[in-house]
Structure 1
Amino acid sequence: MAANAEHLKALVRAHAEANDDLFYSVALQVAAKSARQGQGKFAVELRELVETAQQKQSRASSRNAATPVVQPRGELTSLLTAGYPDTQLDDMTLDAGLRASLDRVLHEQRQRARLERFGFTPVHRILLSGPPGTGKSMTAAALAGELKLPLFTIRLDGLISRFMGETAAKLRLVFDAVAQTRAVYLFDEFDALGAERAAGNDVGEARRILNSFLLFLDEAPSESLVVAGTNHHQLLDRALFRRFDMIATYGPPTPEQAVEVMRRRLAGMDTGTVRWDAVTDSASGLSHAELVKAAEAAAKRAILAGRDVVDEQLLLEALSERHASHHA
């Protein structure tokens, strides 16, 4: 009953402040809670009412002005950054199994009303694990782009170091935003928060922060996507893994994927003379991001030399330089 009372008070406040986004967000929270309690028909009807009202408002806005951009306000401005990516999954070079998992996330999010009719929620808590430069942050951007949602990024290492002693309270502010504003929320550098509680250098504050995050994550509504990115999954507390609906693992590109990454980035250049099978050995050991940097370096050298042709030698030199900087 207390939760219902809080929802009612939030609805009244939103109405008094003429804050339509907050009003609709709270109504959707009520729908999600009702679905979890087995009131599927009411949940679907309430969601349909909200979506119909939002569509009418969107059509009116498109006739009168550009759609307003949601930006963090108040204390949130120091906790997260906002972006509006147009990235799509098709822009990425992904393993077939990983692509299928991400397609499932999108499908469930787009069909969440149907799932909630039967008391289920879509995948909305995702852990992305893998070495730097393998596409974790780009995946969050692609999910936001595909769903036409804002992308809010929270750098946890900075949040913890800047607000030690207040981190749990700051996390509460972020998760309040998760409930109020539908978006993709990327918790970057997740290792800073999720380090094993049994670690020898653990302190009481770190334990409290992690426990708070686990509680907030459990309560996160399914309208928003909470995405955590880690380079070191082996450092994470075991309790974290079972809190996520899906864990996606990223690795270095295969030779075929390495060629696809470079060809994508060089799509505007003439690469007709490149023997791609002769380039794969030099590409081995580099991440997706490093391959993109090598392709860009080769392209810029060609352009500044007055040519639109990237030949094999230019590409091999750029790859060699990336290896040298990689091991420096």
Structure 2
Amino acid sequence: MATADQVKALVKSHAEGDDTRFYSVALQVAAGAARSGQNKFAQDLRDLVDTLRERTSGRPSRHGRPVPVAQPKGELAQLLTVVYPQARLADLSLDDDVRVRLGRVLLEQRQGDRLRSHGFHPLRRLLLIGPPGTGKTMSAHVLAGELRLPLFVIRLDGLITKFMGETAAKLRLVFDALSETRGIYLFDEVDALAGERGASNDVGEIRRVLNSFLQFLELDTSESLVIAATNHPQLLDRAMFRRFDMVIDYPLPSSEVVRHVIQNRLAAVPTGRLAWAKIDEAAVGLSHGEVATAAELAAKDAILSGDGQVTTTALCTSLRDRRAHHPG
């Protein structure tokens, strides 16, 4: 059930009209209920939050201006895809340092006018680095959901051509869109665009593309958030790191985070008495995404076999199988 602090946070956020905080705390209560075995209550509460979000999605919020529905048109449609995420920070299982940093971004964005009145600008350029499956892309969804902004994903396959002039012109279109429509703009796998300029296999055209990208970043004064993500930070040109307000390093999950991921994935199915020490050992070296996939597979096996519950043995077997097929 809800803790005393959660009840107080619910009341305070309701009184202040902070829907985002209210729903976030409510989902924390749901997650806690699921971990304690109250699966029906947890699901009912999640469904209620989703229903309330839909009802209030068109209502102006005190903590962010509503953004009109935006769909890229013309050539931009080949460069951007747009989604409107509902994810919240409370939904993510993250390392404490990552959660604190994302919370700081949200705080500064929500208090942007206050910062600007003192001559400062809120954090809005983020570089996310770390192994695949550790939550980088999902963090962009969370920031969009929390700030009620559209998430634009830049399609690098449409952006990068063999002709430098075309690529630079397409980059300009993207950065023009940043200024015209406030949103979250995600450059995923940005190392394809911003590799080290001194690399031995580099060519002049690629260096000029990178220089154009860095210049556009430097000149951008929009209110949009620019997020670049990479699984290979060692490939990035060093100048990239200087262009971003914050670099967030996503590590592989700790034992605590592994447990949280598994509990969330198994919230809707019965489990036996889980031996967490054995599960922690089986999960070493796996990412958040791989742990979640392994937990889901164990849950489906339990459902299809008719056993009815996920056991430590089944979960460890699924995790070890995932690790056996881990690249590298």
Say whether the fold is shared (TM-score over 0.5). yes
Q: State the TM bucket, normalised to the shorter chain.
A: 0.7 to 0.9
Q: Hey, what's the Cα distance between the residues in 1 that align with 2:261 and 2:136?
A: 15
User: Could you give the per-residue CA deviations for residues 225-268 of structure 1, whole angstroms, max 9, x where no partner exists?
Assistant: 10000111111111111110000001111122111111111111
Q: Hey, what's the Cα distance between the residues in 2 that align with 1:220 and 1:285?
A: 38
Q: Which moved more, 1:214-223 or 1:125-134?
A: 214-223
Hey, what does 2:74 align to over in structure 1?
74
Task: Provide the aligned length of Structure 1 versus Structure 2.
Answer: 265
* Aligned Cα root-mean-square deviation (Å): 1.9
Helix, strand or coil: the match of 1:226?
strand
Q: Hey, what's the Cα distance between the residues in 2 that align with 1:163 and 1:143?
A: 34
Question: CA shift at 1:222, angstroms?
Answer: 4.4
Q: Hey, what's the Cα distance between the residues in 1 that align with 2:78 and 2:297?
A: 34
Q: Hey, what's the Cα distance between the residues in 2 that align with 1:300 and 1:161?
A: 43
Q: 1:319 to 1:158 in 2, by over 3 A?
A: farther
User: Could you give the per-residue CA deviations for residues 171-201 of structure 1, whole angstroms, max 9, x where no partner exists?
Assistant: 1111111111111001001111111111111
Helix, strand or coil: the match of 1:82?
strand
Hey, what does 1:124 align to over in structure 2?
124
Aligned partner letter, 1:109:
Q
* Contact 1:124 1:222 (8 Å CA) reproduced: no
Helix, strand or coil: the match of 1:262?
helix
Question: CA shift at 1:327, angstroms?
Answer: 4.3
**Larger Cα-atom Rg:** 1
Hey, what does 1:148 align to over in structure 2?
148
Q: 1:59 to 1:250 in 2, by over 3 A?
A: closer
The runs of 5 or more residues in structure 1 that have no matched partner are: 1-57, 61-66
Q: Hey, what's the Cα distance between the residues in 1 that align with 2:262 and 2:161?
A: 37
Hey, what does 2:114 align to over in structure 1?
114
Aligned partner letter, 1:111:
Q
* Contact 1:121 1:222 (8 Å CA) reproduced: no
Q: 1:161 to 1:281 in 2, by over 3 A?
A: farther
Q: Which moved more, 1:295-304 or 1:179-188?
A: 295-304
Hey, what does 1:284 align to over in structure 2?
284
Hey, what does 2:233 align to over in structure 1?
233
Q: Hey, what's the Cα distance between the residues in 2 that align with 1:194 and 1:291?
A: 30
Question: CA shift at 1:154, angstroms?
Answer: 1.2
* Contact 2:278 2:316 (8 Å CA) reproduced: no
Q: Hey, what's the Cα distance between the residues in 2 that align with 1:267 and 1:59?
A: 32
Hey, what does 1:201 align to over in structure 2?
201
Question: CA shift at 1:117, angstroms?
Answer: 1.3
Aligned partner letter, 2:263:
R
Aligned partner letter, 1:287:
S
User: Could you give the per-residue CA deviations for residues 67-109 of structure 1, whole angstroms, max 9, x where no partner exists?
Assistant: 9632111111111211111111111112222211111100111
Hey, what does 2:89 align to over in structure 1?
89
Helix, strand or coil: the match of 1:119?
coil
Helix, strand or coil: the match of 1:194?
coil
* Contact 1:155 1:189 (8 Å CA) reproduced: no
Give aligned-pair identity as a percent: 58
Question: CA shift at 1:157, angstroms?
Answer: 5.2
The runs of 5 or more residues in structure 2 that have no matched partner are: 1-57, 61-66
Q: Hey, what's the Cα distance between the residues in 2 that align with 1:182 and 1:81?
A: 15
Question: CA shift at 1:165, angstroms?
Answer: 4.6
Q: 1:166 to 1:279 in 2, by over 3 A?
A: same
Q: 1:307 to 1:163 in 2, by over 3 A?
A: farther
Q: Hey, what's the Cα distance between the residues in 2 that align with 1:272 and 1:131?
A: 31
TM-score after normalising by structure 2: 0.76
